[in-house]
Structure 1
Amino acid sequence: MPPEFWILPSFLPMHPAKMWCYSRMVYMPMSYLYGKRFVGPITPLILRLREELYDQPYSEINWKIVRHLCAKEDLYYPHPWVQDLMWDSLYMCTEPLLTHWPFNKLRNKALEVTMKHIHYEDENSRYINIGCVNKVLCMLACWVEDPNGSYFKKHLARIPDYLWVAEDGMKMQSFGSQVWDTSFAIQALLASEMNDEILDTLRKGHDFIKESQVKDNPSGDFKGMYRHISKGSWTFSDQDHGWQVSDTTAEALKSKNGGLAAWEPAGASEYLELLNPTEFFADIVIEHEYVECTGSSIQALVLFKKLYPGHRTTEIDNFIDNAVKYFEDVQKLDGSWYGCWGVCFTYASWFALGGLAVAGKSYNNSAAVRKGVEFLLRTQRSDGGWGESYHSCPDKVYRELETDHSNLVQTSWALMGLIHSCQRSKSPPPCGKAVD
């Protein structure tokens, strides 16, 4: 993506403001590095890497010809021809103009605006950034701008947040999940009904969650920087991260179809997915609604309504009604729901059935719940557990594990979905075999 995209009028459908935030944050520093035509020092290590990575001598590669080359194993999302035409036109026709006077003045302005966005995101995430890919690219962009500058040095201080040492060496994680993990751990501990014995643990967990709440919106004119309100929300990791996540919060009551997105309100045109430049990911250009986020948020709002029955009651009731309709609308013919943040139909069915249950829907009064329960019972394996293959995610069809043994985690998800649907009281109980 050329940096000039960042100075387009924001009302245009292809403006980066319309993109899913994670993609936007990754393409932002890439735009800067591309516009600067940055090339690092050619060291012996770089030469060895070139020899290892490319199947022909680096100096002989015709980059114009291989621009759209991709291994068939990685080609999950083939580019539409209109996208290739657009990128090729920008590369062959527009790019040469922008590197020469007087059009290079436009390029310089675009680079200035892009770097302004980079610094803004760095400061508002305390240099953790939204994820590891964005973190490294923003740090590199700051180094290109000024190798001895304070922005680059601040980045260096947060590198350890991403690194951890395993038994087979040092690794880099995609992003932290401290709030997410702590929330589930506390829920599990509370369900054990051992509150007196683990009171200190519960208190510490509560304190961490409380202190991790985002206290302020992004600084300055955050809407002008294409950010949304975050005050009062929780992130996936910790307060420093700064990016609100809907399934640890219940902020966004604005979805058109009743579903809830992950980071920002969904609403951009689906046609923008035609511009997806990655061959191995689908549906990453714009924000989408998710069953998991909707299920988590409806449970949070129902609990909030019980604790504070007079607060924004109409809005919460409308949200719950719309969310129930969303679950019914996106349910598959086989009774399942497609999950985007876990594997896959089992995972989403747990969240959907949990959300429907707190909204007053049960096996007896809801066709969606009955179909969801029947899906889980139909996919239960002979040993009593559940086992779904990751192939369900790209194929978008339920695929069973090829092994004979069920998966403990997926069995737990399915069990919780059935418990939400009041199936543990059935005779014979469908949960009994899974528990055994």
Structure 2
Amino acid sequence: MATLSTMTDPLAAVDAAVDRAASALSGAQRADGHWVFELEADCTIPAEYVLLRHYLGEPVAEELEAKIGRYLRRTQSAEHHGWGLFHKGAFDVSATVKAYYALKMIGDDPAAPHMVRAREAVHKAGGAEAVNVFTRIQLALFDAGPWSVVPTMPPELILLPRWFPIHLSKMSYWARTVVVPLLVLCAKKPVARNAKGIKVDELYTRRPIDRKTQAADPKWVWTKSFNALDKVLKVAEGRWPRTLHQRAIDTCAAWVTERLNGEDGLGAIYPAMANSVMMYDVLGYPEDHPARAIARQSVENLLVIHDDEAYCQPCVSPVWDTALAAHAMLEAGGADNVARAEAALDWLKPRQVLDVEGDWAEERPGVRPGGWAFQYNNAHYPDLDDTAVVVMAMDRAQVADRMPIDRGVEWTVGLQSRNGGWGAFDADNDYDYLNNLPFADHGALLDPPTADVSARCVSMLAQLGERLDSPRMAAAIAYLRKEQEPEGSWFGRWGVNYIYGTWSVLCALNAAGLPADDPAVARAVGWLKAIQNPDGGWGEDCDSYALDRKGHVPAPSTASQTAWALLGLMAAGEADSEAVERGVDWLVANQEADGLWGQEYYTGGGFPRVFYLRYHGYPKYFPLWAVARYRNLKRSNTRQVAFGM
């Protein structure tokens, strides 16, 4: 196969790749200007959706359940016979128990070979006793497991003052929205109305189990203290003053209703949305009550139904997809592509949150709203990552109305944390001790500053002219330097993983004006080159999020991770390097017939070690962005990237 360096016109293949990809991406744009692609998690969300329907006692949707059943059976591993958290991922006992339960609820015979294999795998892993807290709650709701093994979180928690060590405002947005309706469910301890009374007793081994936490750095003092507190709360359960207890439940319900978010749902994420429906149900709200009805509809809106299969998404990603696709189209250039990007920005403009002080305002009162959310609507929970990416696209397109840009920057600056970095949704959400709560065995209760989100904010500020020596920029750069791993990479919280983080930070350091010979830049470039796969692409497994944080775990090359590595290297002045040429060769050679790229591997990070995401849009716009940038740099008189991303 000819490579770029051996062709008569080395950019001819790249030109063709850009044109085909831009045309295909144009074809995926919605009539109103936005893009949205499927967002797929593991089997737990579709399994929980099936269980939710049966919990509520809704009429059996045979065709839909048959399609979900086919999806679940297809994603069962042929190696370990259970379900993992990502494509070709290791066995996960919680995911497997939920998938098995959903299939049994759908009607699969426990004696069927695939069910027997899954059951044996669960037994080998310690049985249903070994599942995580949220799965234990799911089982308890069906009387398929005891409430006694669920850590106690009384609804009175919502009444505690903000200075109290355990407070909702100290948790991440996703934890808050999931926990508040769950406080009511755990207090009421309802049992599903499923008339079939299906249990999964056969998954239990009745053997003692040593449950593990996914917290990255558990502290024994806090762990022992919180475990002792849990025992006290269990003794006190049912003994709270009745008036206080009812006030707490009423406050939880009011909190949820205030943030219900229409048909986009509480927090616009499935677990919170499903919990809100069950909360309204246990509180006696009839099916046609406006709050319950709209909460229930929000769940239906997450379904993806194909001809043969169906699944439920954890949320949707239209703002993120649209902003990133707009960047790719701007990079591709040409009147039509730029016009499509401008249409996307027109769609994004009215989705800026300008009049709602979300939960973030508890930590930053006085800061004016100005961010964008990830989903169609989520006004209480805009995020810094989306906001920075949208602002950079608007600035790059030279939009006439600068108000959205100015308000986005103002809000972003207002949420910078004390250490110089930015979290995704809140400032200074770094109360590490809370990850030692028995309830937080997923280790993802918090939203502390991360290198990838911070890098996006630095890129935005630098693109808009922020001086490197300004106090806030100096603090942010110092934070990024501090976060660099010994081998030269950066940890990527929201994308897999070190490749994602390193791309993000290299773009930020370039935008801020750091030279290629800066030690941080040079080390990162050396690391990216060192991990390039023999085929010229880049790949990284989700197991790089392991508790020991030993670093990058090699994996087959993927289109999105190859694109990230290329964008990072080109930001560091490496457009003429052999590594970049080989990476572009890989993308050109692996472009599919439809002009885009395929990718089954998960390269999105939801919660490290617990929850991963397959963004179906990532292999569509990131490779276009990378090959278009390569072409643009090779055809220019300079190798300097002009924008922050």
Query: TM-score w.r.t. structure 1 length?
Result: 0.83
1:419 and 1:154 mapped to 2: Cα distance? 47
Equivalent in 431, 440, 459 of residue 299 of structure 1: 459
Equivalent in 280, 286, 305 of residue 446 of structure 2: 286
Pair 1:53–1:424, CA change in 2 (3 A): farther
CA contact (8 A) 2:507 2:568 kept: yes
Report which stretch shifted further, 268-277 or 181-190. 268-277
Equivalent in 94, 99, 108 of residue 236 of structure 2: 94
Q: Corresponding residue for 1:387?
A: 539
Q: Residues 121-154 of structure 1: CA distance to partner in whole angstroms, max 9, x if unpaired?
A: 1158863533110001012112222332221122
Q: Corresponding residue for 2:249?
A: 111
Report which stretch shifted further, 28-37 or 141-150. 141-150
CA contact (8 A) 2:173 2:425 kept: yes
Please state if 1:51 is matched with 2:200.
Answer: yes
- SS of the residue corresponding to residue 289 of structure 1 reads coil
Please state if 1:201 is matched with 2:340.
Answer: yes
Pair 1:182–1:42, CA change in 2 (3 A): closer
Q: Corresponding residue for 2:584?
A: 435
CA contact (8 A) 1:117 1:225 kept: no
CA contact (8 A) 2:423 2:447 kept: yes
CA contact (8 A) 1:266 1:286 kept: no
Q: CA deviation at 1:51?
A: 2.9
Q: Corresponding residue for 2:560?
A: 409
Q: Corresponding residue for 1:261?
A: 423
Q: Corresponding residue for 2:326?
A: 186
Please tell me the root mean square deviation across aligned C-alpha atoms, in Å.
Answer: 2.9
Please state if 1:322 is matched with 2:475.
Answer: yes
1:217 and 1:137 mapped to 2: Cα distance? 24
CA contact (8 A) 2:169 2:362 kept: no
Q: Aligned letter for 1:317? A: S
2:171 and 2:438 mapped to 1: Cα distance? 10
CA contact (8 A) 1:301 1:316 kept: no
2:284 and 2:366 mapped to 1: Cα distance? 30
Report which stretch shifted further, 142-151 or 354-363. 142-151
CA contact (8 A) 1:218 1:230 kept: yes
Q: Corresponding residue for 1:153?
A: 293
Q: Corresponding residue for 1:41?
A: 193
Q: Corresponding residue for 2:89?
A: none
Q: Corresponding residue for 1:367?
A: 519
Q: Residues 135-174 of structure 1: CA distance to partner in whole angstroms, max 9, x if unpaired?
A: 0101211222233222112223333321111354221111
- SS of the residue corresponding to residue 487 of structure 2 reads coil
Report which stretch shifted further, 236-245 or 332-341. 236-245
Q: Corresponding residue for 2:136?
A: none
CA contact (8 A) 1:385 1:406 kept: yes
Q: Corresponding residue for 2:268?
A: 130
Report which stretch shifted further, 232-241 or 16-25. 232-241
CA contact (8 A) 2:434 2:440 kept: no
Report which stretch shifted further, 4-13 or 207-216. 207-216
Report which stretch shifted further, 261-270 or 121-130. 121-130
Q: Corresponding residue for 2:302?
A: 162
Q: CA deviation at 1:104?
A: 2.0
Q: Corresponding residue for 1:345?
A: 498
Pair 1:226–1:377, CA change in 2 (3 A): closer
2:307 and 2:428 mapped to 1: Cα distance? 41
Q: Aligned letter for 1:24? A: R
Pair 1:125–1:422, CA change in 2 (3 A): farther
Pair 1:51–1:165, CA change in 2 (3 A): same
Please state if 1:377 is matched with 2:529.
Answer: yes
Pair 1:370–1:53, CA change in 2 (3 A): farther
* Number of positions where the alignment pairs a residue of Structure 1 with one of Structure 2: 401
Higher relative contact order (CA 8 A, sep 6+): 2
- SS of the residue corresponding to residue 305 of structure 2 reads strand
Please state if 1:212 is matched with 2:351.
Answer: yes
CA contact (8 A) 1:233 1:244 kept: yes
Extract unaligned runs of 5+ from structure 2: 1-152, 388-408, 586-645
Report which stretch shifted further, 265-274 or 374-383. 265-274
Equivalent in 484, 487, 494 of residue 334 of structure 1: 487
Q: Residues 229-259 of structure 1: CA distance to partner in whole angstroms, max 9, x if unpaired?
A: 6732101112355421101225343311111
CA contact (8 A) 1:230 1:244 kept: no
Q: Corresponding residue for 1:81?
A: 224
Please state if 1:121 is matched with 2:259.
Answer: yes
Q: CA deviation at 1:287?
A: 2.0
1:228 and 1:391 mapped to 2: Cα distance? 41
1:387 and 1:126 mapped to 2: Cα distance? 34
Q: Corresponding residue for 1:310?
A: none
Extract unaligned runs of 5+ from structure 1: 306-312
Q: CA deviation at 1:197?
A: 2.9
